[in-house]
Amino acid sequence: MRDALDGRRVLVTGGARGLGAAFVRALVEQGAHVAFGDVLHEEGAALARSLEGAAHFFPLDLNDPHSIADFVAQSVKALGGLDGLINNAAITNSGGKFADELTPDTWDAVMNVNVRGTWLMSVACVPHLKESGRGAIVNIASDTAMWGAPKLLAYVASKGAVIAMTRSLAREFGGGNVTVNAIAPGLTEVEATAYVPAERHEYYLEGRALTRAQVPDDVNGPVLFLLSDAARFVTGQLLPVNGGFVMN
């Protein structure tokens, strides 16, 4: 895989910790040139320092279209162009609440980051991805949108929207030779899932065909594949990565 990704210029949103940080590290290990953004400035800067200049960190707030534009401009300048984008940043906010306990503000906050942010980031990057001639977007969805996880409605709805958006963007961007695919990870052991009750973790463990915990490295390979030339004729697709908890 290293030869396929060596020299690739890739952006990662939500890259300061969790799955995003795992993607950043994996890309660097495979020889890619990486820029990543996050609202977690101190954690993002610390990760960049730990990688000793192999990845650039820039502040990014998906709630703010100006922040998105600045992030893309800074990243493209630092990398000298753009070949790939991983739309990873997302918030949950609605965890543990039933549908009738949600507020419109909570719903809007989740949709603004997870859906609108993914759309705006994709649109901001696509001119540069078209210029590359081998552009690829990988949207990080969630298998919760496939099985309808309860007490997580806003997040589940947002990830369902990301899956649907992936298909439309694939058709719109395909003429520019840009692929757009989605990964739907299962419950992964990262900081962002620390709030999930133990019984939900156990539910996943019992329901998977592969009966073990899911870790970030389980998601890295499929994401790197979709960024590579090996996947140049794969677009508009959803790939569940959950150990067989949900199967297409």
Residues annotated as catalytic (active site), given as ranges: 155
Cα 67 from Cα 227, distance rounded (Å) = 25
Cα 149 from Cα 237, distance rounded (Å) = 21
Cα 113 from Cα 90, distance rounded (Å) = 6
Cα 82 from Cα 78, distance rounded (Å) = 10
Cα 57 from Cα 75, distance rounded (Å) = 8
Which of 240, 242, 219, 180 shows the shortest CA–CA distance to 18?
219
User: For residue 227, with 0-12 CB atoms within 10 Å meaning exposed, 13-18 middle and 19 or more buried, which class applies?
Assistant: buried
The strand pairing partners of 137, in sequence order, are: 85, 180
Q: Which residue has the tokens 């419950």?
A: 187
